[in-house]
Amino acid sequence: MPEIIIPTEFLPVDGRFGCGPSRVRPEQIAAFATEGAKLMGTSHRQAPVKNLVKRVQDGLMDFFHNPDGYEIVLGNGGSTAFWDVASHSLADGKAQALVHGEFGAKFAAALQAPWLTAPTVIKGEPGSRLELEAEAGVSLYAYAQNETSTGVSTPVKRVASADSGALFLTDATSAAGGIDFDPLETDVYYFAPQKNFASDGGLWLALMSPAAVARTEAVAQTSRYIPEFLSLKTAIDNSRLSQTLNTPAIATLFLLAEQVDWMNAQGGLAWAHSRTAQTSKHLYDWAEASQYATPFVTNPDHRSQVVVTIDFAAEVDAAAIAKVLRSNGIVDVEPYRKLGRNQLRVATFTATELSDVEKLTSAIDFTVAQLAK
Ligand X SMILES: *Cc1c(COP(=O)(O)O)cnc(C)c1O
Residue 244, interface with ligand X (CB under 6 A)? no
Q: Give exposure, 31-57, as e/b (b: 16+ Cβ within 10 Å).
A: bbeeebeebeeeebeeeebeebbbbbb
Residue 80, interface with ligand X (CB under 6 A)? yes
Q: Collect all residues with Cβ–Cβ distance below 8 Å to 327 and sequence separation of at least 6.
A: 3, 4
* Distance between CA atoms of residues 83 and 44, nearest Å: 25
Residue 36, interface with ligand X (CB under 6 A)? no
- Closest to ligand X by CB, 144 vs 310, is 144
Q: How far is the CB of 81 from ligand X (least distance, A)?
A: 7
Give me the residue whose beta carbon is nearest to ligand X: 78
Residue 173, interface with ligand X (CB under 6 A)? yes
Element (H, E) at 35: none
Q: How far is the CB of 251 from ligand X (least distance, A)?
A: 16
How many residues in the shown chain lie near ligand X by CB under 6 A? Answer: 12
> What is the DSSP code (8-state) at residue 229?
G
- Helical H runs in the chain? 26-31, 37-39, 47-63, 78-89, 102-110, 210-220, 232-239, 250-266, 268-289, 318-327, 354-371
Of 194-233, binders to ligand X (CB under 6 A) are 201
DSSP bridge pairs for 95: 140
Residue 171, interface with ligand X (CB under 6 A)? yes
The piece of 78-86, 130-138, 251-259, 354-362 that touches ligand X (CB under 6 A) is 78-86
Nearest to 39 by CA among 48, 29, 31: 48
Residue 79, interface with ligand X (CB under 6 A)? yes
The answer to whether 96 and 141 are in contact (CB under 8 A) is yes
The piece of 7-15, 72-80, 156-164, 276-284 that touches ligand X (CB under 6 A) is 72-80
The answer to whether 350 and 305 are in contact (CB under 8 A) is no
- Closest to ligand X by CB, 57 vs 79, is 79
Among 95, 144, 219, 344, binds ligand X (CB under 6 A): 144
Among 103, 168, 197, 366, binds ligand X (CB under 6 A): 103
Q: How far is the CB of 114 from ligand X (least distance, A)?
A: 23
The answer to whether 152 and 128 are in contact (CB under 8 A) is yes
- Closest to ligand X by CB, 139 vs 174, is 174
Nearest to 135 by CA among 88, 97, 103: 97
Query: Beta strand 94-99 with 120-123: parallel, antiparallel or unpaired?
Result: parallel
Residue 256, interface with ligand X (CB under 6 A)? no
Residue 18, interface with ligand X (CB under 6 A)? no
The answer to whether 293 and 307 are in contact (CB under 8 A) is no
Among 162, 192, 250, 310, binds ligand X (CB under 6 A): 192
Please report, in angstroms and rounded to a whole number, the separation of the first and last CA atoms in the chain: 11
Residue 243, interface with ligand X (CB under 6 A)? no
The piece of 68-76, 89-97, 170-178, 266-274 that touches ligand X (CB under 6 A) is 170-178
Of 314-373, binders to ligand X (CB under 6 A) are none
The piece of 28-36, 77-85, 121-129, 287-295 that touches ligand X (CB under 6 A) is 77-85
Residues near ligand X (CB under 6 A) are 20, 78-80, 103, 144, 148, 171, 173-174, 192, 201
